[in-house]
Amino acid sequence: MEYHSTAEAPKAIGPYSQAVSMGDLFFTSGQIPIDPTTSRLVEGDFEAKARRVFENLKAILQAGGREFADVVKATVYLKSMADFQVMNAVYAEYFADHKPARSTVAVAQLPLDSPLEIDLIASIPRKS
């Protein structure tokens, strides 16, 4: 097992890693909209928060030599399903034509009262 981290995403605030790889698989920890430079939730509307989550995930994927095209599964946690359409639009921008398997779950609460959290599972990088 190999641990991966980057200063371009929020530091782990507990006994976990930003990401772990094992064999061909790469697992990110759940990301909420924390700005890695301030360690605080970003201000703004839901779209701004969703973009911060995807930027955090992008940085973690890159730290492990992966990109969104290598993702095979995404799990999205939303405090309100009313935010689904906005999350889905931002999600589509980051994944483009790549369509990994995905689960979206409504939850009662998330860390720091975040409105969303997303974790990813990626495979080995594609050959160019």
Which pLDDT tens digit goes with each residue over 25-69? 999 999 999 999 999 999 999 999 999 999 999 999 999 999 999
What pLDDT sits at residue 69? 94
Q: Is residue 127 part of a domain?
A: no
How many domains does the chain contain in total?
A: 1
Cβ pair 33, 53 in contact under 8 A? yes
- Tens digits of residue pLDDT in 66-105: 999 999 999 999 999 999 999 999 999 999 999 999 999 9
Given this model, what pLDDT does residue 126 score? 62
Contact present, 116 and 49 (Cβ < 8 Å): yes
Expressed as residue numbers, the domain containing 118 is 2-122
C-beta of residue 4 within 8 angstroms of C-beta of residue 21:
yes
Domain of 11, CATH number, reads: 3.30.1330.40
pTM score, two decimals?
A: 0.93
